[in-house]
Amino acid sequence: MRLLACRHADVTVDPTQAFGHPLVVHGGARVEDPVDRFKADDGFADIAADLDVPSTELEDVIRVALGLLA
């Protein structure tokens, strides 16, 4: 199942992957992983490089997950 809240990122939920946690399609990271790193003050460039998620998608995922305004 795809989550439609993100404008630029493809996020899916599949009970057979990552125990049903939402995943960013590009890079395969669980949504909670970049969000936790962002909360820990890691920079977007470092998070995107480490998790292999494009920065525009990463920003989109974090904004939606934290309920931030665009």
pLDDT tens column, 14-36? 888 878 788 888 888 899 999 99
- CB contact set of 16 (below 8 Å; sequence gap of 6+): none
pLDDT digits (tens, 9 = 90+) for 31-63: 999 999 999 999 989 999 999 999 888 988 998
Domain count across the chain: 1
What is the pLDDT at residue 32?
Answer: 92
Q: Name the band, by pLDDT with cuts 50, 70 and 90, for residue 69.
A: low
- Looking at residue 40, what is its pLDDT? 96
> Domain range holding 37?
2-66
Q: How confident is the model at residue 3 (pLDDT cuts 50, 70, 90)?
A: low
